[in-house]
Chain A
Amino acid sequence: MARAGGITNAVNVGIAVQADWENREFISHISLNVRRLFDFLVQFEATTKSKLASLNEKLDVLERRLELLEVQVGNASANPSLFAT
């Protein structure tokens, strides 16, 4: 009886250890996926920031061109005698 009880205890410990290893493997998979997700989010933030910066630069250039055009149109409209025949 004592041998049978020791064998069952050993089996139970082995089952518990296997279950523990399975749980550890699951947690490692989940943590790895979360890290991948985090890396993706960091990379996505960087690319989005760079694209937004390029868009901001384009907008600045367009605003400057518009201001230049406004000044030129203002000068031309302020002196209409240039276009009078």
Chain B
Amino acid sequence: MHFLKSLQELKELRSQLHYAADYCETTFLESEKKRDVMENTKEYICRAMVTVVDHLGNVSSNLEGLISHTNAFSDAEIRIQCLKQKLLSCEQYADKLALTNMQWKEKLPRFHTRYLSSPPILERSRTEKLSDSKSEVSSKKDDKHIQEDLPLYMYTQNPFTSKNLKPATATVSKHKNLAFVMPVRDGLSVLAKVSNPTFHFQATAKSAPRHRRSLHGSDVLWLLRRSKRTH
């Protein structure tokens, strides 16, 4: 505001000086006492010079004040730096969150129990049982001892179903240990759901006890018939 006001006063002073110069010229030409007119003109020129310098100083000081007193720039710079720091902290927080999500997941991948290989101790006991028919009783005891260590869900499965299992792919057939499939003894794998419904191992496992039950029933009938004949 001060700069504009002083600049307007300087512009008005220019018109006043032009008007005063014209007045002095006409007065000097028309007047008879030219010496007095010249002295007055000299005095007026000195005062005009002082006035012009004063106005110019005022205008320049106002403009200098406007240019130098620019605290708004520093304030804006400080605010921008603050915003930059905030964004940097947000990015670091987002990176930290992403890293924690990558390191630990609440839903761990669960695999079905049938797709995991059995421990080598159990496999050896079964092979001994199959190979040596004389030591059948001792092997049954070993199996019972092993089954006692196993959890409850193990009793629902037939331990000889591994004989019916066949490797589905060539890669599985290369690894002989994978042919014998056994559940794992952890609690999490029990809760796992069957992801692939195309497998039918359970159906083959269930078919063997049914066949046994039919055989068992025929034996009972044969014993009843024999007892009738004897009577």
In the bound complex, what is the Cα–Cα distance between A62 and B87 (angstroms)? 17
Is B4 an interface residue, CB under 8 A from the partner?
no
**What is the distance, in angstroms, from B196's C-beta to the closest C-beta of chain A?**
31
Q: Is A42 an interface residue (CB 8 A)?
A: no
CA of A53 to CA of B64, assembled, Å: 14
Given contacts A26-B42, A66-B80, contact A83 B49 (CB under 8 A): no
Q: Does B19 count as interface, using CB distance less than 8 angstroms? A: no
B45 at the interface (CB under 8 A from A): yes
Q: How many angstroms from the CA of A34 to the CA of B48 in the assembled complex?
A: 11
Assembly CA distance A40 to B94 (angstroms):
58
> Does any Cβ of A come within 8 Å of B152's Cβ?
no
| Chain A residues whose CB sits within 8 angstroms of the CB of B38 once the complex forms | 23
| Of the residues A55, A62, A82, contact of B76 by C-beta under 8 Å | A62
| 0/1 string, B18-61, CB within 8 A of A gives 1 | 00000000000000000000100010011001001100100010
Residue A65 CB within 8 A of the other chain: yes
The answer to whether B60 and A44 have CB atoms under 8 Å apart is yes
Q: Interface 1/0s, chain A 33-57, versus B by CB < 8 A?
A: 1100100110010001001100100
Q: Which of A26, A41, A58, A69 touches B87 (beta carbons < 8 Å)?
A: A69
Q: Does B90 contact A (CB under 8 A)?
A: yes
Scan A11-37; emit 1 where CB is below 8 A from any B CB, else 0. Answer: 000000000000100100010011001
Contact status of A62 and B80, CB under 8 A, knowing A33-B49, A41-B56: yes
A73 in contact (CB, < 8 A): yes
| A26 CB to nearest B CB, Å | 6
Nearest A residue to B38 via CB reads A23
Q: Is B70 part of the binding interface, using a Cβ–Cβ cutoff of 8 Å?
A: yes
Bitwise interface map of B from 164 to 175 toward A, beta carbon under 8 Å scored 1, else 0: 000000000000
Which A residues lie within 8 Å of B90 (CB)? 76, 83
A82 in contact with B97 (CB, 8 Å): yes
Pairs A–B under 8 Å by Cβ, sample size 5: A30-B45, A33-B49, A55-B70, A62-B77, A83-B90
Residues of A within 8 A of B (CB): 23, 26, 30, 33-34, 37, 40-41, 44, 48, 51-52, 55, 58-59, 62, 65-66, 69, 72-73, 76, 82-83, 85
List 4 tightest A-B contacts by C-beta distance, closest first: A82-B94, A51-B67, A65-B80, A72-B87
